[in-house]
Structure 1
Amino acid sequence: MASAYAQDDVGLFDHTVHITPGVKFLDAYTISSDAIGIYYPIGGTVANNQHFVSPTLGINYAPLPGFSVYASWGRNIKFPNIGAYYSNIAETNAAGQYVVVPVSIKPEYVTDYELGTRYRHAGFLGSVDAYREYFTNTFVNVTNPTTALSTTTNGGRSRYQGIELTLEQHFGHILVGRWLGYANYSYNQAVFTSSFHSTYAGQVSAGQPLANVPKNMVNVGLGWRLGGIDARIGAKYVGPQYVNQQFAGVPGGLKIPGYTVTNIGLFDTIPLHEVDVKSVKLALNIDNVFNHHYVVAATSNSDYYGNPYLSVFEGMPFSVYGSATLTF
């Protein structure tokens, strides 16, 4: 893979307006060469070369000190990973013969729009933005339940859109040490915008949600600093999200529930002046303070009788771990 990138920064109206056009050239050559083995009754090689010119444009307007409004637009590409090439070796033709067929999967393209504003004053930082992303040739990962071979296919168009809000306040020195608080919230809606047929899942309709995209996420926290000592406590909420069917690679009707996790971190940097080691940084992390049981990822399947169930990946329980980092 190779890329070349160029960007300019154009200042106008006494630098209250900044325009940043950019362009990137991307080139990828992918090859899969496989021998006869467990998955392949014949050997073969498939390869292709793909490239794309990615333009971007950003505009930032700062009419007042600390306050700005910005907008951006861009086009980008995601090349198929190597798994997308596996199924082309040892396909079966109409005569029942094993053959190697040319690569037909297309890259995934995205067009992104974003509009937002930022404000910074006297220890306060706030920002809010809205975005919309249009995908074409959306990648869908499917698995053959007989051979257990996973491949990537194209699944039509999709759209991600939402808002993001960030708040941060430095309170300065209060009683002992310096304090800060922060909070951020994001809302994201991800849906297919075209209908298509998915292997093992059948028809997928426009408006159907994508998997592994929680609509709501919230982070809140409090920080404290005294000399070289830092302490942080933060809570993260991740809302419910649809999960993919195990073999089809697209969502069914099952979700994993939302969850909240609280973490604490303590850090201390100790300078050392009389030895070769300049400093030592000590860290103590306490994750999932309240030992909350939660699921971070899952796939859905059905048993012999057609009853749906989830195969889940559980989150970490209450955990304590530390580290020491030496700087020479």
Structure 2
Amino acid sequence: MHRPSPRLWLPTLFLPLAAQAEDTRYQAEPLVVTGSRYQASGWRLPFSVNRIDAEQATLGKPGVNLSEALGSVPGLVVQNRQNHAQDLQISSRGFGARAAFGIRGIKLLADGVPLSNPDGQGQAATFDLDTLERIEVLRGPFASVYGSNSGGVIQLFSRDGQGAPRVSADTSQAAYGTRRTRLAAEGGNAQAGFIINRSHFETDGYRDHSGAILDKTFAKLTLHPDDLSTLSLSVSELDQNDTQDPQGLTWAQVQSDRRAAAPSALLFDTRKSVDHRQLALNYERGFAAGTWQSTLYSGTRRVIQYQSIPPAVQGNPTHSGGVIDFERRFHGIGNRWIQPFDLGGSLLTLTAGLDYDQSRDERQGYENFIGSTLGVKGALRRDERNRVTSLSPYVQAAWQLGKLDLQAGLRHNQVEFEVDDRFLGNSDDSGSVTYRELTPTLGASYALLPALSVYASWGQGLETPTLNELSYSGANGGFGFDLKPATSEQIEVGLKARLAAGTRLQLALFQIDTDDELVVASASGGRSRFQNAAQTRRRGIELALESRLSESLRGHLAYTRIDATYSQAFSSNGRMIDAGNHLPGIPAHSLYGELNWQPASGVSTAIEAMYRSELYVEDSNSARSAPSYALFNWQARFEQRVGALTFDQVLRIDNLLDRDYIGSVIVGDGNGRYYEPGPERAWYIGAGVQYRFD
């Protein structure tokens, strides 16, 4: 099939620009703070940043996790594992694609508070989408201004309570025994605002042995002591008890029964419990000279996880068992001063700050058997105190010179790991390791026309091993103090254009070269050892198009093409990995489209389409790749107002064409259980009511 050259069709995108060059009546550009740390138009910033408002992210959607909200962002791959024991898998331009559980390599923030541990391992399940105001997603070189393990940044913001007090309740039912209920209250005035939200979610799961129950609570109090100050206090909780883990399947098992759990998951009753509590304080004060911002947070996280490691494997005296049990205490503080300087014909804004984050784990490992009884907590095999500390001062500068905008940043990253091994029956893993690195960034954008801006940026980044990756990577399966961090250099060029009064386009080309990429050295006995063995190169193009096609119709389009390969051969798990092999877990092509139609007030319907090309599942690229797939989803939403009451109803059907597909993969699984099948056609219906006290 003949494909037109980009040289032929790209210029046609910009034909409307000439006609609009003299017309500056554009829809207001969305304001963002991610990347620059001060409120600015995304149009002027020399990097890729997207803003998703609450309406686009949540209306007509189940409100369960971030996979529902991030489809329209190019460069991101969000894989819903359909496994609440392991959270989502999110990668940004390839960063984080190897994560076997949770999210790594991407900085997650909620109201300025890291959802990522200082080692870079994070989880998105703790954030409550019910209270969302907006999401900002940053890719490219300037992500490194947020410290180590920031291959990309996803920053979530909860809304402040505003307007007349109101209470609301909603409930939903969905396929596979899925149910959700929510109760909330919020309101506010010029002096104060509040939000209280409580949700309960439970599901039997699409696959066998994938049931889950999640209870979330979020409360926020916002105070405005005067016209120059804002103080907000928030509390969040997540209770997730005995969430079942179906694990991945081999390709033969997928073909036999795609809804099955792995036999070992049933044999050992693999499951996970999470108890998360967090308190956060944000303060902002304006002065005649500048603005002071401060964030303080603290919390606890308890995790108990039962794995499927065979008892015979645990006969090795250095093995740490098949039950993970840890209690984490974490805290941190971030302070920054934002200082603008009016230089007559230009504006210079300087930002200086310091981030400090620390987590302390009381970590034990136990055998997952007692005698012949499996899936129970047995004898102690590990007893450690782990501490991870991150201390990072930084400075950023933004200089607006008419049509030219310049940005620069410099951050000093210091991440320290300390291990106090108190279980000396096998070996002493006590010790410490500290990673230090300066990461500079530079960028410039120029407005060629009122409707067309071009930009370029460059930066260096740092990705430390996570505590989990260090834990088993030593020579004898102990702590891998000799692992080095991966370092990267990124270049990005792009343009931002307004093709019509309601149409925005972003186009970016990027290249990322990484040294000392962390890869699996061996995988056996339920444990993976990691090594620094590879150089990689990622090149790609991203396109994002948002358009209000008419008063009642709007559309979103996002496309990503990425070529991610090893640029140097290396040995992994006893095999030679050739230069030119593709990095696993990163699709070469991703496409997302959405059309939303609102034919009348209180009535809307939308259809989503998503395509993802095949996924390699391990470094040699020889195992069966997860096939490409295309999915379509449809939703309709209705709203009625009767006096102080507002009613809403939602009907949704996912996977309209009932396609079989692999929703996510477990990269490099030592047992060949790479594949996590996605659900068949699934229905969802919900209804809610809100009462407003006017």
* Secondary structure in structure 2 of the residue aligned to 1:242: coil
Corresponding position of 2:25:
none
Shift of 1:181: 2.3
Distance 1:2 1:322 in 2: 47
User: Letter of the aligned partner of 2:684 in structure 1?
Assistant: Y
Shift of 1:27: 1.9
Shift of 1:142: 4.3
* Secondary structure in structure 1 of the residue aligned to 2:616: strand
Q: CA RMSD in A?
A: 3.0
Structure 1 stretch displaced more, 318-327 or 281-290: 318-327
- 2:519 pairs with 1:130: no
Shift of 1:79: 1.1
- 2:682 pairs with 1:319: yes
Shift of 1:322: 4.5
Structure 1 unpaired stretches of 5+: 93-99, 304-308
Corresponding position of 2:408:
21
Corresponding position of 2:594:
221
User: Letter of the aligned partner of 2:458 in structure 1?
Assistant: W
Corresponding position of 1:140:
519
Q: 2:631 aligns with which of 247, 256, 261?
A: 261
Shift of 1:25: 2.4
**Does the 8 Å CA contact 2:453/2:496 hold for their aligned counterparts?**
yes
Corresponding position of 2:384:
none
* Secondary structure in structure 1 of the residue aligned to 2:617: strand
Corresponding position of 2:558:
184
Shift of 1:274: 4.1
Corresponding position of 2:464:
79
Structure 1 stretch displaced more, 107-116 or 222-231: 222-231
- Structure number with the higher strand fraction is 1
Corresponding position of 1:97:
none
User: Letter of the aligned partner of 2:464 in structure 1?
Assistant: F
Structure 2 unpaired stretches of 5+: 1-389
Aligned 1:1-328 pairs, distance under 5 A: 1-12=390-401, 15-34=402-421, 36=423, 41-87=426-472, 91=476, 103-120=481-498, 121-145=500-524, 147-173=525-551, 178-200=552-574, 202-225=575-598, 226-244=600-618, 251-268=621-638, 274=644, 283-298=650-665, 311-322=674-685, 324=688
**Does the 8 Å CA contact 1:252/1:300 hold for their aligned counterparts?**
no
Distance 1:300 1:54 in 2: 30
User: Letter of the aligned partner of 2:546 in structure 1?
Assistant: E
Distance change >3 Å, CA 317–CA 109, structure 1 → 2? same
User: Letter of the aligned partner of 2:395 in structure 1?
Assistant: A
Distance 1:143 1:215 in 2: 26
Distance 1:54 1:302 in 2: 35
**Does the 8 Å CA contact 1:132/1:162 hold for their aligned counterparts?**
yes
* Secondary structure in structure 2 of the residue aligned to 1:84: helix
Shift of 1:184: 2.3
Distance 2:461 2:608 in 1: 34
Distance 2:681 2:653 in 1: 7
Corresponding position of 2:24:
none
Distance change >3 Å, CA 271–CA 20, structure 1 → 2? farther
* Secondary structure in structure 2 of the residue aligned to 1:83: helix
Give % identity.
22
* Secondary structure in structure 2 of the residue aligned to 1:103: coil
What's the CA shift string for 1:209-230, capped at 9, x where partnerless? 1111111111122112343544
**Does the 8 Å CA contact 2:415/2:436 hold for their aligned counterparts?**
yes
Distance change >3 Å, CA 105–CA 235, structure 1 → 2? same
**Does the 8 Å CA contact 2:663/2:677 hold for their aligned counterparts?**
yes
Distance 2:399 2:446 in 1: 12
**Does the 8 Å CA contact 1:220/1:236 hold for their aligned counterparts?**
yes
Shift of 1:53: 1.8
Distance 1:112 1:327 in 2: 50
Distance change >3 Å, CA 266–CA 33, structure 1 → 2? farther
What's the CA shift string for 1:273-311, capped at 9, x where partnerless? 748xxx6765443221222110133467899xxxxx764
Distance 2:662 2:533 in 1: 27
Distance 1:297 1:79 in 2: 24
**Does the 8 Å CA contact 2:469/2:529 hold for their aligned counterparts?**
yes
Distance 2:520 2:419 in 1: 17
User: Letter of the aligned partner of 1:137 in structure 2?
Assistant: D
**Does the 8 Å CA contact 1:32/1:82 hold for their aligned counterparts?**
no
**Does the 8 Å CA contact 1:84/1:105 hold for their aligned counterparts?**
no
Shift of 1:166: 2.3
Distance change >3 Å, CA 187–CA 160, structure 1 → 2? same
- Structure number with the higher helix fraction is 2
**Does the 8 Å CA contact 1:131/1:163 hold for their aligned counterparts?**
yes
Distance 2:440 2:669 in 1: 41
Distance change >3 Å, CA 3–CA 287, structure 1 → 2? farther
Distance 2:648 2:495 in 1: 36
What's the CA shift string for 1:32-57, capped at 9, x where partnerless? 444549xx733432321112221111
Distance change >3 Å, CA 327–CA 189, structure 1 → 2? farther
The number of residue pairs the alignment matches comes to 299
Distance 2:603 2:528 in 1: 48
Distance 2:463 2:662 in 1: 29
Q: Output the TM-score relative to the length of structure 1.
A: 0.80
Distance change >3 Å, CA 72–CA 326, structure 1 → 2? farther
Distance change >3 Å, CA 301–CA 125, structure 1 → 2? closer
Distance 1:90 1:205 in 2: 24
Corresponding position of 2:177:
none
* Secondary structure in structure 2 of the residue aligned to 1:241: coil
Shift of 1:102: 6.5
User: Letter of the aligned partner of 2:609 in structure 1?
Assistant: A
What's the CA shift string for 1:120-148, capped at 9, x where partnerless? 12222222221100111111134442x32
**Does the 8 Å CA contact 1:32/1:86 hold for their aligned counterparts?**
no
Shift of 1:325: 8.3
**Does the 8 Å CA contact 2:429/2:479 hold for their aligned counterparts?**
no
User: Letter of the aligned partner of 1:261 in structure 2?
Assistant: L
Distance 2:669 2:400 in 1: 56
Shift of 1:3: 2.7
Distance change >3 Å, CA 233–CA 104, structure 1 → 2? same
